[in-house]
Amino acid sequence: MKTSILVPFTLLIGLAAGFFIAGTLPLAPEAMSESSAEEKPLYWVAPMDANYQRDKPGLSPMGMALVPVYADDLGGDDAPGTVTIRSEVVNNLGVKTEAVLFSPLQAQIHTVGYVAFNQDQVIDLHPRISGWVKSVAVNAPGEYVEKGSLLYAIYSPELVNAQEEFVAASKRNNRFLVAASEQKLKALGVAQRFIDQLKTSKKVREQVPVYADQSGYVGELNLRKGMFVKPAMKLMSIGPLDQVWVIAEVFERQAHQLDEGDSVEMKLDYLPGKTWTGRVDYIYPVLDNKTRTLQVRLRFDNPELLLKPDMFASVTIFSRPTAPLLSVPAASVIVTGEQERVVVALGEGRYKAVAVTTGGRFSDRIAILAGLYPEDWVVTSAQFLLDSESSLSSDFLRMTPSSMGQVDDVWVMAEIKHIDQQTRMATLAHQAIREWTQPAMTMEVPVMDGLDISRLAAGDLLQVQLKGGRMAELQIVDFILPRPKAPRSSVGGGL
């Protein structure tokens, strides 16, 4: 019994000692160099957070052991996070890509509003004296009245006294008293036609008529026969409808895309298929603190009087096109809690997640301020699957040279200040070139032989491709002019 137990135990001790000795003996130089070159990790990364990287083993913030990342894991010469997929797998995943565009962007803001009177043309009627309404010619709100038509008649002791003074002055033929008493009647709101009749008849009337000062529709009516009125009361309002306002509301985040004068299209449910065109007339300066919306006043011509106050309308506001910008489809941008990124198609089945700086959404496109170039293609379908795989080891950066001393091609947005077609020299005012750590500046750059520059002129905004690490070798090798904006249909607009 004792012998059978001791034999296995002795074998285990021998094996352990052998492993220990083997681990402590130095390797041959050839084996050591090959092993270090092939097996030495580049860095260690947290299993659940690809952004947590360390230069030695350890634990992640979640207490998990860090995972080594080797050169083979990065796909050879590819940047960290590059994912390679076979063509048949790409088709099975339904991967779709679209090019990064350089063009003006135009936002379409869809909202609702309600039709209202043009308040610039609405008048309110208040009595200038106290009295009793003896008759009313307007029966209900919405009635149309012509300029000069009778609205109501009023009895006022004050008006009776003013008439008696005017008649007495007329009988005495005292022109100074006549003029003074006539001005008093006008100040009390008596129409000129009534004063002319009084001059002829020389008879005081108890009921004094009040006429409309302009044509239009009665919006409010606070007047009844027999009621007592005084100057503080608003009796009615009259406004035309040949031009109307539409009060719409936009969200706070859309306010920066609006400008006075922007074109607008409007539809109403009661007339399907018909579209009205107008413009943004005024943007109210105060935000509603409850709804977090901003009111916008739109102006529409209404020659057929089809638009009625308080009608509900669907509105589309077309913002003015921006300066040319790089943009991608909105569906391609992946928004996380800490950054925004897209998946760039590198060609030959390779994809990489790249962090970008966005500049706002314009309908179905998002402006890109940094992180992409004009020749890039981005993934618009199955990008979440590719991003989840790439983000495990991606640094979310583009492969760019570290200094201007390296010869490399870069794209940058620029404005042509002057161009000489004969000498093929262009003066560019370009934005900062981060790949070369070069600030924005204006400089003269030669154009590569064979590049057609006949379309270029001073004042053009474009994307130019610059080649050369040293100023003596710097030249323009390619350019992209803004894509013309697609014509807008009669119903909707777009890019």
Count of domains observed in the chain: 6
CA 25, 30, 31, 32 dihedral sign is positive
Model confidence at 360, pLDDT cuts 50, 70, 90, reads confident
pLDDT higher than 70, residue 241: yes
Model confidence at 249, pLDDT cuts 50, 70, 90, reads very high
Q: Which of 239, 188, 195, 182 is nearest to 213 (CA)?
A: 239
Q: Are residues 339 and 314 in the same domain?
A: no
- What dihedral angle (degrees, nearest 10) is formed by the CA atoms of 165, 166, 170, 173? 70
Q: Which pLDDT belongs to residue 284? A: 93
pLDDT higher than 60, residue 233: yes
**∠ CA(347), CA(350), CA(354), 5° rounding?**
100
Model confidence at 175, pLDDT cuts 50, 70, 90, reads confident
Q: Which pLDDT belongs to residue 469? A: 56
Q: Which two tokens stand for residue 164?
A: 């008696």
Q: Burial letters for 55-74: b for 16+ Cβ neighbours within 10 Å, e otherwise?
A: eeeeebeeeeebbebeeeeb
Largest CA distance in the chain: 156
Which of 195, 219, 239 corresponds to the end of one domain?
A: 239
Residue 494 belongs to some domain of the structure = no
Percent of the chain whose pLDDT exceeds 90: 29
Which of 181, 205, 239 corresponds to the end of one domain?
A: 239
Residue 398 belongs to some domain of the structure = no
Between 165 and 23, the more confident residue is 165
Q: Which pLDDT belongs to residue 358? A: 87
Q: Are 199 and 170 in contact (CB under 8 A)?
A: yes
Gap between the Cα atoms of 415 and 408, Å rounded: 21
Q: Which pLDDT belongs to residue 79? A: 65
Model confidence at 150, pLDDT cuts 50, 70, 90, reads very high
| CATH number of the domain that residue 166 is part of | 2.40.50.100
Map tokens 């706070």 to a residue. Answer: 252
Overall average pLDDT of the 424-445 stretch:
83
Q: Are residues 215 and 267 in the same domain?
A: no
Q: Are residues 446 and 474 in the same domain?
A: yes
Map tokens 């869809």 to a residue. Answer: 110
Q: What is the pLDDT of residues 314-342, one digit of tens each?
A: 999 998 888 888 889 988 998 887 788 88
Q: What is the pLDDT of residues 187-199, one digit of tens each?
A: 998 999 999 999 8
Q: Which of 365, 384, 353 is nearest to 319 (CA)?
A: 365
Q: Which pLDDT belongs to residue 449? A: 87
Residue 399 belongs to some domain of the structure = no
Q: Are residues 92 and 47 in the same domain?
A: no
Q: Are residues 144 and 210 in the same domain?
A: yes
Helix 175-187 vs helix 157-172: crossing angle, to nearest 10: 160
Name the phi and psi angles at 390, rounded to 5: -70, -35
> Structural domain of residue 260, as residue ranges?
111-118+241-318
Residue 395 belongs to some domain of the structure = no
DSSP string, 232-264: T---EEEE--SEEEEEEEEEGGGGGG--TT-EE
Q: What is the pLDDT of residues 46-58, one digit of tens each?
A: 766 666 788 888 8
Which of 363, 390, 417 corresponds to the end of one domain?
A: 390
